[in-house]
Structure 1
Amino acid sequence: MAHIFSNIVQIIFLIEMLALGNSLDFQITPQNITTLKGNVAQFMCILTGLEDNHVVRWYRNNEQISEGPSVFPQYASSMRIDTDLELFHYNLVIPSVSRDDNATNYHCSVYEGSQRRLISTDTAILIVQEIPNLEYYPNCKRSDKTFHENRNANLVCMSEKGYPVVKLKWYYNGRELDQHVEYSDMVTATTRVAISKEHKEASFVCSLTTEVDINLSKNCTIGPIPVLYKPTTEIQGQDILYEGTDGVYVCYSDASPEVKDYTWDLPKHLPPDKYEYENNRQVLRLIGLTKNDNGTIIKCSTSNSEGKDVGKFIIRVSGQESISEVNGLPTGSSSVDPNKKTSSTAAMLSVVGGCLLFLASIMAFLLCSIILYTRRQAGIYAGNHVPQPDVYYVPKDSIDATSGSTYQTGKWKRSIATQVPNDLELESITYAEIEEGKKLINSYRTLKSTNIKEEAK
């Protein structure tokens, strides 16, 4: 019974599958697609129960574009139908989507003659994203070739719009600038900058970003920009001079374009032999100053295409006494008190002397340490052996002892050993005879002579 029941269940299941397979329906309907311009887009339409008298049609924005396995001729260059008649696949393929394909919608339907039997309920939308050609965008432009101080300059940044529309932003030293953005066929971002001297050689950056790729950032730059501004003039020289010395004064200017001419305004009481110019009149030398020149005011004028400026300096000359202050007028770049100079010099000499004495003490200590170390090394024991001076053996006399002598026969040799310290020069070594040795040799010689005489008898 169980076996029969199992067979019945299988038969029922097969009947249901056959019934389902013969019913007209969608297995897969078209879905929304978002892709980049130039990519492939494919909308799928897969059916079941499709019969020979059924026709599949595709619609674009509710306009029919295909009949069965073929698209209409006007669309043949931009799309096609990929079919598998056995599996009932009718897929619409767009090989390269364009900007015109953006926001178009698609659906497929099944007709039997003029009667529509089936339609995909959800309309599929094609979204085409676009990134501008980064080889050319963004593009930066400026209103003028050169900028003038205290004037406004317009900086313009342009790009293709893309989709979604790109964002353009201006920056200076990492800080975002105020800007005005316009959208037409292009995106244009304009910023207005009040130019100052601090903008000289500065750079302004326009940044492009897009939602298509949050990691993508493309920039263009304007700069370093040339800024033109009038001179700022300053005279530099020694504040206080002594009688009989020369005063040297330099006229400095910060300007763009650079200052070429310097004009000095000197008091009328200065005769021509009291001053001279150097370095294209940028340097003034006053010769042999006296106390009568104390308080004299000199001026230097500079100019360029943007304007002019004047720098002033008060000459101070001192004899044996300190000069009095001159109030109400500008002075040079530094102020020096002669008394303060003297005390500073004495303090400096004291410090230098102390440093030299300290260095000499260190050198003496090091020299003594080296000498003591060297002598100590000469007395270091190596195991149980104590280093000794070199010993030189020098052969001296020899005696032939004859037969019958009370001494052993053969030659007797004497050597003298002399110890020589290692640290003495070789030329200073002298050898001394040993007096006791001399006496012993003489006694040997006398004994030999006596033996010879006895043998002769």
Structure 2
Amino acid sequence: MFYKLYCTHLVLLTFVLYEVTSFSGFQMEPSDISQTEGEPVYFNCIVRKLDDSEYVSWLHNGHKISNNGVIITNTYSHYSMDFDSAFGSYNLRIQQVQRRDKGGYTCTVYDSNDQIVEKSRTANFTVSEIPQQQYPICSSTKTSYRIGQRVVLQCISEKTTPLALLKWVHNIGGSESGLKESVNGIGKSFGTWIVLYLLMFQRTHSLSGFNKEPGNENQAEGDLTYFNCIVRGLDETHYVSWLHNGRKISKNYDILSDTNRYSIDIDSNSRKYNFEIENTQRQDKGEYVCAVYDSSDSIVVRSRTANLTVSEIPQEPYPICHNAKLSYSAGQSVLLSCISEKTSPLAHLKWKHNSIDLTTGLSEDTSSGNYKVSYSFIARQSHNRDIFICELTTSVNPTIRRNCSIGPINVLYAPVVRIEQTSDVILGNEAIFICYSDANPQEATYQWSFDPPIDETMYYLENEFILRIKKTTNSLNGIQVICKVTNSIGSESNKLIIKVKTRGVIADNEDVDYDKAIDENKDISDSKKVNKNQQMLQTKSPTINNSNTNSDISISLVVIIALVCIIVILGLALIPVGYMRYTRRQPSDTISRGRPVSIPDVYFEPRDHIDLMLPQLGITAPWMRTVGVQVPGECEYDVTYNTQVMPQPRQVYYTQRMYPASSL
């Protein structure tokens, strides 16, 4: 049986959230603000991620006023930075707003070359001006008037934005007639009444509202959410709380909720009570209100309601792939399902086969609690052992890519049969026919037949898929050999017409490798139960004999070549040995007659002696050996003849034994 092999690579695309190492945008940008002169103001700037070489600066009307957390000019001494590099916070705070502070404020990211990488939106800051302390100034054109004479009184104030309200009062009541206004660099009010009372300007220190209120936010699940709340004129008996869907979750510094993801960013100087949510979750969505309470826990004033929308990301187990059946028959309909959470917004589910996106046969279903994308197709033989992959992505976080797979798909199909012969059918020779089958399930039965039938003694089966005809005759020419294979799905057959050729005719068809055919069907034959009562005849055809003869000749040739190589290698190895043996320099000496006399390479003459005993010392003289050695100049130094029993000079030897110098 022939097996069709499929090479399937399953690529698991597993991605985890990763950190982007370069600037990736602003999480919060400054917004337009209008503030009263003398009050504090707060501009927000939160960046997602910076490169090590990048830094953040604030620009006021195009002029750089800060580098990261440092104000770089003395002109803006009432400015400060609320700086936290780990959090990505580069907020700008103005302690007491002055008129010159109005204008455009931009949060800007620079690279190491001081080139602008990215700018936030420009926030326009409007300052509500208050006349200076010396105003209003009252004056009269004359010091005295006659009865019936027109009296002109002047009340002067600065020309501010917005203009101050000047009102003349007579006998406590207001004067509305005879008034005239003029704006010429300064504001003036004219009247015809004698001034009895003046209305002076005074700044209120009671609570009058919010300098900054929270705005609507749309955050991805897992990101940071930030709500602003800056109050104006907070009384000592008041406190600030945040409400989530009407439930109090904070009181000044304290978080009243059980979660540890909430925190309050408080600055008593600027009266800032900003609310932060780390790792935003789905349950955080809803309405948020910044409210001021009095000592009796009654709401004094509340900000506008800010709505938080959480863009949801499917949880980690998703996507989940589902296959309705374990196996399919060829021609059946296959339905594969890919399931994800029903999130807002919906995730994107995509089916792939052999790394190619599938665009047809898809259907979506959101009627249940989950979001499901199904792929249907008709099973074919080519789909057997195939793998289908479903990939999940989401617009909320493009870096998230998860997948699941179904397969290998088990497709059952009837056998696909073909017959091949190992070589041309030569008259008088043995002929071999092989039946190949590709089927699923593989368990199948083989049935051989001839059309028209032939004598059963002319052929035998080597195994169920190899047929041998012992000796071909002319009567076999044109006969059809039929192989029928049957499995649990169905049956299929194939036939081959025998063409008998005489010797010397060149075969038109390429010979089939018999050994390869045996290997291809080995797994099938091993899985079958062999009938032990069946007698297998072994017949060798002339073609096989010729093949064996050629094989013997090839082996002999290989052995001869190997022996020649070994002889050549040994000959090359002996060349240096012979050279060293027969070309070595022989030492010689020459006598007066000019005849060279050979002498040994090395000779020595040992001499042993004992020094005379020194009577005055009363000790035994040491035994010593002196060796004379002569070697040729080219010989290496041989330590064999370097014998020195006493390595020290005699004088040193006796000196060590406290001999006097005169005795030596």
TM > 0.5:
yes
Match of 2:584 among 381, 384, 389: 381
Preserved CA contact (<8 Å) 2:421 2:511? yes
Q: Distance in 1 between matches of 2:493 and 2:384?
A: 22
Q: Which moved more, 1:52-61 or 1:171-180?
A: 52-61
Match of 1:265 among 442, 449, 463: 449
Whether 2:336 is the aligned partner of 1:155: answer yes
SS of residue matched to 1:266: strand
- CA-based RMSD of the aligned residues comes to 5.3
Q: Distance in 2 between matches of 1:206 and 1:43?
A: 38
Name the counterpart of 2:232: 48
Name the counterpart of 2:595: none
**TM-score between the two structures when normalised by the length of structure 1:** 0.60
- Counterparts of 1:145-224 in structure 2, within 5 Å, are 145-178=326-359, 179-184=362-367, 185-224=369-408
SS of residue matched to 1:131: coil
In the TM superposition, residue 233 of structure 1 has moved relative to its aligned partner by 0.6
Q: Distance in 2 between matches of 1:368 and 1:90?
A: 97
Name the counterpart of 1:449: none
What whole-Å deviation, never above 9, does each CA across 1:3-58 have from its counterpart, x for those lacking one? xxxxxxxxx99999x94766734344224445566889664433231347979787
Name the counterpart of 1:275: 459
Match of 1:130 among 306, 309, 312: 312
In the TM superposition, residue 213 of structure 1 has moved relative to its aligned partner by 3.0
Name the counterpart of 1:144: 325
What whole-Å deviation, never above 9, does each CA across 1:82-110 have from its counterpart, x for those lacking one? 798977666678899764653x3434466
Q: Distance in 1 between matches of 2:429 and 2:401?
A: 65
In the TM superposition, residue 176 of structure 1 has moved relative to its aligned partner by 0.8
Name the counterpart of 1:308: 491
Greater share of helix residues, 1 or 2?
A: 1
SS of residue matched to 1:375: helix
Preserved CA contact (<8 Å) 2:242 2:251? no
Write the letter of the residue equivalent to 2:396: V
Preserved CA contact (<8 Å) 1:235 1:333? no
* Distance change >3 Å, CA 157–CA 333, structure 1 → 2: farther
Larger radius of gyration: 1
* Distance change >3 Å, CA 347–CA 120, structure 1 → 2: same
SS of residue matched to 1:215: coil
Q: Distance in 1 between matches of 2:471 and 2:267?
A: 114
SS of residue matched to 2:409: coil
- Counterparts of 1:357-372 in structure 2, within 5 Å, are 366=569, 369-370=572-573, 372=575
Write the letter of the residue equivalent to 2:505: S
Name the counterpart of 2:440: 256
Write the letter of the residue equivalent to 1:160: E
Percent identity of equivalent pairs: 26
Q: Distance in 2 between matches of 1:299 and 1:332?
A: 21
- Counterparts of 1:14-33 in structure 2, within 5 Å, are 19=203, 24-33=208-217
Q: Distance in 2 between matches of 1:286 and 1:119?
A: 103
**TM-score between the two structures when normalised by the length of structure 2:** 0.43
In the TM superposition, residue 224 of structure 1 has moved relative to its aligned partner by 0.7
Q: Distance in 1 between matches of 2:566 and 2:262?
A: 98
In the TM superposition, residue 118 of structure 1 has moved relative to its aligned partner by 6.4
Q: Which runs of 5+ in 1 are unaligned?
A: 1-11, 326-330, 336-340, 392-457
What whole-Å deviation, never above 9, does each CA across 1:216-254 have from its counterpart, x for those lacking one? 222111001101122111122233244443323221100
Q: Distance in 1 between matches of 2:429 and 2:356?
A: 54
Q: Which runs of 5+ in 2 are unaligned?
A: 1-130, 136-201, 514-543, 590-597, 602-664
Q: Distance in 2 between matches of 1:119 and 1:269?
A: 104
Q: Distance in 2 between matches of 1:166 and 1:295?
A: 66
* Distance change >3 Å, CA 65–CA 248, structure 1 → 2: closer
Preserved CA contact (<8 Å) 2:587 2:599? no
Name the counterpart of 1:232: 416
* Distance change >3 Å, CA 321–CA 217, structure 1 → 2: closer
Preserved CA contact (<8 Å) 2:588 2:599? no
Preserved CA contact (<8 Å) 1:291 1:319? no
Write the letter of the residue equivalent to 1:312: K
